[in-house]
Amino acid sequence: MSVVEPPPSPIRARISRSAWLNNLALLRRAAPHAKLLAVIKANAYGHGAIEAARSLTSADAFGVARLGEALELRAAGIWQDIVLMEGVFSDEELSHALANGLDLVVHEAAQLAMLERARTPGRRPVVWIKLDTGMGRLGFAPEALPGVAAQLQRIAAVGEIRVMTHFARADEPDSPMTSRQLARFEAALGALASRPAVALANSAAILRWPRTHGDWVRAGIALYGSSPFAGESASSLGLQPVMTLETRVIALREIALGDGVGYGSTWCAQRPSRIAVLAAGYADGVPRHLPNGAPVLIEGHRVPLVGRVSMDMITVDVTDLPQAGVGSSAVLWGEGLPVDEVAAAAGTISYELLCGVTRRVSFEYR
């Protein structure tokens, strides 16, 4: 018995390769003298890591958080340089990383010990020493850099040594924190006999802190067309949305004055109202806490969300949009409706919305 391919889901994520390339080119122009590491962790921020790697072939390297993400790319035939930005967590992981030609970040002593125990691979990996200059998460203290670098230089399994850090507040152009972190980083490098290649700048720093560009920059959220700055739109920066999450109207309802809509009747009609039901819910990645009034596009027109987001459906008020009908297209975020705006309405950030799109959603790459 043959298996019939099911029709596509009514909700789909339309992914624009041209927007990816636009954003990559913009970030390269912003840091013209640096190599660019494209961060495609978390399934490329929900966009599809394999397709991201295939679309962004001109990036100088890719960055992922964990080994499994890198092995998925290798299995798909992606053989560009890949950096494990959290490093490895066991000798077994290190063995897999070396066998698959992955580059490593080290940020704690246990990872140095793993490298000392490792057998020399055919290709010695680039090892990035991560310094904690103020983020307060991963990394060696800046004053430990000379000792860590010397230890790595004695390990046969290690190739080129580079140094990196991560900014805590680069998205705040007037914050002195980034300048302090840069000063700590530069002071640490000054204790070395020779200066290695370095990487400091994330998306915000690429666009606002040219002093931090160094030899490498790491492009994350801006690569996907979202602004790294609160209160500054992606379009004003020249960024284009890569993902457009869209669905359609599956039903219309006439609601009388005073009637409620959805679980808990969190919205009640203040006038006789026409309500459109859309095939999208928190099982697709629409935040359940998205409030009444949050914007949705129906046939290119903004209408307000009304009622609580449920597992498979949301409802919007189309009383003032008579052309809306069953089958009308709806955009939840993307072209015409910035994901940053929807995220702000939900009290969160675009990263969470993009990463939260679920496997029930159909993906279409153009």
List pLDDT tens digits, range 80-89.
Answer: 999 999 999 9
Query: Is pLDDT of 3 > 80?
Result: no
Query: Is pLDDT of 122 > 90?
Result: no
Q: Which fold has domain 17-226?
A: TIM Barrel (3.20.20)
Confidence (pLDDT) at 120: 77
Q: Which ranges of 118-202 does DSSP label H, i.e. alpha helix?
A: 145-153, 177-189
Query: Shortest CA distance to 277 belongs to which of 303, 259, 256, 301?
Result: 303
User: Any idea what the Cα angle at residue 130 is, between residues 148 and 78, rounded to 5°?
Assistant: 115
Query: Shortest CA distance to 293 belongs to which of 265, 315, 272?
Result: 315
Confidence of residue 231 (pLDDT cuts 50, 70, 90): confident
Which one is catalytic: 41, 45, 224, 282? 41
Q: What is d(CA 278, CA 251) in angstroms, rounded to the nearest whole number?
A: 7
Averaged pLDDT for residues 154-172: 96
What is the percent of the chain with per-residue pLDDT over 90, rounded to a whole number? Answer: 95
365 catalytic, yes or no? no
Report pTM.
Answer: 0.94
List pLDDT tens digits, range 321-349.
Answer: 999 999 999 999 999 999 999 999 999 99
Which one is catalytic: 35, 263, 351, 365? 263
Q: What letter would DSSP give residue 65?
A: S
Residue intervals of the chain classified under CATH 3.20.20.10 are 17-226
Structure tokens at 44: 């490329």
Confidence of residue 1 (pLDDT cuts 50, 70, 90): low
Least confident of 39-43, 121-125, 269-273: 121-125
Query: Shortest CA distance to 160 belongs to which of 92, 93, 81, 88?
Result: 81
Residue intervals of the chain classified under CATH 2.40.37.10 are 243-365
User: Is the CATH number 2.40.37.10 carried by domain 243-365?
Assistant: yes
List pLDDT tens digits, range 257-316.
Answer: 999 999 999 999 999 999 999 999 999 999 999 999 999 999 999 999 999 999 999 999
To which residue do tokens 């009908």 refer? 325
Confidence (pLDDT) at 94: 96
263 catalytic, yes or no? yes
Averaged pLDDT for residues 47-63: 98
Q: What is d(CA 288, CA 169) in angstroms, rounded to the nearest whole number?
A: 29
Query: Is pLDDT of 5 > 90?
Result: no
Averaged pLDDT for residues 157-180: 94
